[in-house]
A and B are shown apart, each in its own frame.
Chain A
Amino acid sequence: MDYIIIIISAIFVNNIVLNQFLGVCPFIGVSSKVETSAGMAGAVTFVMVIATIVTYLLQKYVLNVFGIAFMQTITFILVIASLVQLVEIILKKVSPTLYQALGIFLPLITTNCAVLGVAILAVQKDYNLIESVIYAISNAVGFGLALIVFAGLREHMDLVNIPKGMKGVPIAFLVAGLLALAFMGFAGLV
């Protein structure tokens, strides 16, 4: 039951993009087409889950044991940066097709605050390993959901006659605001 609450709360109620404002840069930057958004969502899911597992273990068995929790930021970002590189190299060897699909998004993920944010949040919320993994997966799904829905809306927006000054990013923000408003409807769910 706890797991279901974590899942629903992370995907809908506290959606990582629309409610917690993590990963807004790719949300605005790469969401002009549904296909690219799906690729980005896949890459983020991949890295976020692995990063959360590794940082969880590091926090528990290295940082806490040696009493150097203040090194959290530096350690986590290094882990994420090297993980992204590692994932890139492995994917290139093991599955060239997947690499083709996700490749260009991988370097961007290092500076996606959603990945670091989820890793830190999982530690702050005192989850155990299974809960952390579920939390990471649900947040990644929430990110993908927001990104793909938003990309769908933006594809339609290309066909609409919008006032000149509002074209492009400003209207994207307004639509994101309405989407966030819609997601607020989930607030009472958990």
Chain B
Amino acid sequence: MNHWKNFNKGFFKENAVFVLFLGLCPTLGVTTSAINGLGMGLATTFVLVMSNLVVSVVKSQIPDKVRIPSFIVIIASFVTMVELLMQAYVPALFEQLGLFIPLIVVNCLVLGRAEAFASKNNVVTSVIDGFGMGFGFAMALTILGGVREILGSGTIFGFDLHMFPLDADGNPITMIVFVLAPGAFIALGYLIVLINKINNKSVK
């Protein structure tokens, strides 16, 4: 498999969210706006790339029986790093994402790639795989966040689109349900249908 194919499989063909259904908790939990989705996606990408890198370097050193706990410790260390870095440099985003930052540890995507890919491949392919899957995940979260932000607040990345009528007080009348919990499930459901359609077309 060449590097380009290895990289771009994470975007459509094996997209973590839309096709493999991994890492759904942060996907639904933080995507009330596009910027939150992007931030979460990039934080996860960092952890994914670094854990893939370390796992692929030390894979021959780890006995098979304690493989999973070792991977979890490696991942947890990088998550703690991300936590501290975000707290220091982007405190506003850190507040918004809240609980979901430490929960990157239990994101099935990260452990899944460590177990299924990095523990079987060399360093370069593992890092490329980490970037590909991570950016695919970030893309999915940004799209979902964008859709929910546009429909739910009438903005995208914070810019007002002026697409909804105003009420008597001058506030836009938006489809507020999309920034609430049910909207997350509904928006993701329809996005999966759309991605399935695109993937089926490209196969034919």
Q: Identify the A interface with B (CB < 8 A).
A: 18-25, 28-29, 70-74, 76-78, 81-82, 110-113, 116-117, 120-121, 124, 165-166, 169-174, 176-178, 180-181, 183-184
Q: Kindly provide the distance from the CB of B193 to the nearest chain A CB, expressed in whole angstroms.
A: 5
Q: Identify the B interface with A (CB < 8 A).
A: 21-29, 68-69, 72-73, 76-77, 79-80, 83-84, 99, 102-103, 105-108, 111, 177, 180-186, 188-190, 192-193, 196-197
Q: How far is the CA of A178 from the CA of B183 in the complex (A)?
A: 9
Shortest Cβ distance from A109 into B: residue: B106
* Given A78-B73, A184-B180, residue A70 in contact with residue B80 (CB < 8 A): yes
Interface of A is mostly: helix
Q: Which of B21, B76, B186 contacts A169 (CB 8 A)?
A: B21
Check A113–B185 contact: CB distance below 8 A: no
- In the complex, which of the residues A21, A24, A172 has the most CB atoms of chain B within 10 Å of its own CB atom? A21
Which residues on B sit within 8 Å (CB–CB) of A173?
Answer: 185-186, 188-189, 192
Which residues on A sit within 8 Å (CB–CB) of B21?
Answer: 25, 28-29, 169
Give the number of A-B contacts (CB < 8 Å). Answer: 119
Check B28–A21 contact: CB distance below 8 A: yes
Check A177–B72 contact: CB distance below 8 A: no
* Given A113-B25, A180-B185, residue A170 in contact with residue B192 (CB < 8 A): yes
Q: How far is the CA of A19 from the CA of B183 in the complex (A)?
A: 11
Which residues on A sit within 8 Å (CB–CB) of B80?
Answer: 70-71, 73-74
Instruction: Supply 18 further A-B pairs (C-beta < 8 A) apart from A71-B80, A169-B192.
Output: A20-B29, A24-B28, A25-B24, A70-B80, A70-B84, A74-B80, A77-B76, A113-B103, A113-B106, A116-B105, A116-B106, A170-B190, A173-B189, A174-B186, A180-B182, A180-B185, A184-B181, A184-B182
Check A81–B182 contact: CB distance below 8 A: no
Q: How far is the CA of A135 from the CA of B60 in the complex (A)?
A: 42
Q: Kindly provide the distance from the CB of A63 to the nearest chain B CB, expressed in whole angstroms.
A: 13
Q: How far is the CA of A71 from the CA of B79 in the complex (A)?
A: 10
- A sample of 9 cross-chain residue pairs with beta-carbon separation below 8 angstroms, ordered by A number, consists of A23-B25, A25-B24, A73-B76, A73-B105, A78-B76, A110-B68, A116-B103, A121-B99, A173-B188
Shortest Cβ distance from A74 into B: residue: B76
Q: Kindly provide the distance from the CB of A30 to the nearest chain B CB, expressed in whole angstroms.
A: 12
Check B186–A177 contact: CB distance below 8 A: yes
Which residues on A sit within 8 Å (CB–CB) of B77?
Answer: 74
Q: Kindly provide the distance from the CB of A25 to the nearest chain B CB, expressed in whole angstroms.
A: 5
Which residues on B sit within 8 Å (CB–CB) of A18?
Answer: 181
* Given A78-B72, A180-B182, residue A170 in contact with residue B108 (CB < 8 A): no
* Given A25-B24, A78-B73, A165-B196, residue A73 in contact with residue B186 (CB < 8 A): no
Check A111–B192 contact: CB distance below 8 A: no
Shortest Cβ distance from A71 into B: residue: B80
Which residues on B sit within 8 Å (CB–CB) of A73?
Answer: 76, 79-80, 83, 102, 105
Check A112–B76 contact: CB distance below 8 A: no
- In the complex, which of the residues B26, B29, B83 has the most CB atoms of chain A within 10 Å of its own CB atom? B29
Q: How far is the CA of A86 from the CA of B186 in the complex (A)?
A: 38
Check A117–B103 contact: CB distance below 8 A: yes
Q: Kindly provide the distance from the CB of B156 to the nearest chain A CB, expressed in whole angstroms.
A: 22
